[in-house]
Structure 1
Amino acid sequence: MVTPTAPPTPAPLSLAELHTSLSDPVLDAMNFLNEVVARFPDAISFAPGRPTEGTFEPEDLARHLQSYTTYLQQELGWSRDQTRTLLFQYGRTNGVIHELIARTVANDEGIEVPPEAVVVTTGCQEAMLLTLRALFARPEDTLLVSSPCYVGITGVARLLGIQVRPVPEGPDGPDPLAVQAAARAAKQAGQRPRAFYVVPDFANPSGASMSRAARELLLAVAEEEELLVLEDDPYGFFVRTGEARPTLKALDRGRRVVHLGSFAKTALPGARVGYVLADQEVVGPEGGRTLLADELSKIKSMTTVNTSAVSQAVIGGLLVESGCRLREANSAAVAHYRTTMDTLLDALERHFPAERQAELGVSWNRPDGGFFLVVDVPFAADHKALELSARAFGVLWTPMRDFHLDGGGTRQLRLSCSSQSPEAITEGIARLAAFITAQITGTAA
């Protein structure tokens, strides 16, 4: 007879025995920020880069879905049974709206790729994961990134055990000659620089943009150094001043650019639909030829299997309704982000006029568009300062040091204007100005 005993105390898992990436500060940064935002719900937040909800209505989802099913049945001649299977079952690994995406990028960006080169992903984050896993095969393979850099790509690299080498970013984005120097330094160190990741338009977090001349020079450097360019361009539509610049993929003649795309900012973030344009040819050991998109499909089949057909149908309906011209469909959003960035810049100027900037040692950049700008301050803009700002002054921002791989950004903070109204921005900058002044004068505590 077995005598019942008290259940054993569960033994904790040792963090030292889990993957080393779980101890990386890059993975902690966003969790910390989310936690602070949750603890101070009444604070005005310039922290997240989420898009405006604008004119979103719950009824829109049903309309988009109906538009897509109508497109399938009336334009493509699908039967009701075929439509039902597409929506309710597992689907094609590389996606079912690839033809609509190929038409859209051709109309909006002048990017000409065959539909078979499009991989529809679960957000752009999966696009990064698939691309890095496919391209980085050897221990010495190294990813070059602008620094500061979006933590999504550096986090994925860390999870996959990929070496990352930072390229310092200037006020106009990465200098192609600095990219070349970094590639050559990597080779001298026994590494194989495989690709360079860049956000060419209104980058997250800096707001910097590359000129057309710099883009063309970067492609020439990539050719010379045998680099692929991983182009991530979620903000290119949202021009505040000047004209939109061509994407790197639109300028690419040597198939050096793998374009990472997303509908999060231009359509519907909740759908979690992104894509990769991967038209590079891959040659097998027996001489067989495929597209890089086909190789990404093999990895996707072992991760998410396929991107939600329902989410794709919603995005597909939205593309159909817009005539596969999202740039035109985003005219209201472009106007909104232009207004919010102008409001943000005007409010900073009011609270910190030129003489006040010089006196306090405060400055900021003036992006030509997008969601973000960076403020330089003469104190440590770290997590401790962020918590004080939220608790005592009711305003949130993002420490720039979380985006740097080379120890920079310690006295910088990122502001995002994307999800706030002009009125909230005006009040939020008043609170931020009070916090910054108190920090400088020693009265913040």
Structure 2
Amino acid sequence: MKNKKLFVSLIALATIVIAITYTLMNMDAGKANKPRGNQPANKDNSRVEVDRSTTSAKPPRNLPAQTEKARNNNASETEADATKRNSDNSQAQVGVYKVSAASYHAVVKGYGEVQPVDSLSLIAQVNGQIDKIAANFKTGALIKAGETLAFINKTPYLKALASAQSDYQAAIVSLEEERLLGIQARDEWNRSGLDGDPASDLVLRAPQLKAAQAALEKARQTVASATRDVALTEVTAPFDALVISREVSPGSYIQTGGAVAKLYSVDSAEIAIGLSPSQWTLLPSYTSQAELDWPVTLLDASTNIQWQANVSRVELHQDMTTRQRNAIVSLNKPLTQQPPLLLGSFVSAQIQGIKLDNIWKIPASAVSQKQEVWFISPNNNTLQKFTPNVLFENKGFAFISPYQQLKNALIVSRPLNSYLANTRVQAVIEATTGESNND
């Protein structure tokens, strides 16, 4: 009985295992026959096979020999074009100026400080107390020649003048008395009956007359000196001037030779422009006696304001420190210019020089930090360089001597420190200078 129950249990377990196995098999079959995407599944769940022969393109057989050769030539040309295109793309593009030799007027540049022709430290020529100061006597004021700036107490000088005038009148009387005494002495000598002249000039009072004449001249000079001292109590400007400083005040006491003011003349100004020997070679020839009139443009670097002036003379000696020689630029009435050119300003000067032939005009940026100029060789489009002879610079351009007497060149406008000679590049022309331009 016990064995029978065990047998029944085994049969039930085997039934369950078979059922589970069948269920799993049906599930796998459903997944395999499920359509993918939006394509409908085949009703018979059969696998669809694609004929690969329809999708693979096979070249036709028995092609003519000429067709095969043409296809090979086309393939070769395509590969050559691709190689050339890749080679061109690998070359760096470089901006250049196309320059040609031409003629230009040299421009010589220098720097200097605007100075008055006359600079004066005005001093008192008599001593005394300052009674009054002119209303216009202030720093920065413009004053006229002869204008009184300060008044010194003149009382003691008027007294001295009166005394001198009194002495002068007394000397006149003494001279007249001596003249009459001389006439009287001559008459007495003539009445005495003596022959010839007396043994001494004192008899006829000739020396006394000369002494009286000298005393009168002395008195005259004393009056003149006293009169001058009275006039000097008014301190006046000797020329049209700008007041730079004032050293006195009302009530102050000043000694003879004491400073009253510092004045700058305003009729004209001068700028000493130091130039090197090489710069002098770019200027017109001259003689030491000739009056010069070279045009000059003055520029204030801080404001970019310009004034027109001229070189009036040159100095014929070199500075021992800088080894430069000065060209003196003159400008009339600097403070009445529009706008005024202030005395003491630091300006640059551009002096028009001689005409130079057969030179290159290149951008100043083309001269590298190493003082080299790069250009593109016309033979093989490679970078080359040389050290330029810069003649002068003006308005952002450098004017140089041509390299190896070349007439034309492609100058690299902005060279890099990483450039290497013989590097192949492509030129991109940015501008043209020289004979084709109206420079």
TM-score under structure 2 normalisation?
Answer: 0.22
Whichever of the two has the greater Rg, that structure is 2
- Point out the structure with the larger strand share: 2
Relative to total residues, which structure has the larger helix share, 1 or 2? 1
Query: TM-score, normalized by length of structure 1?
Result: 0.22
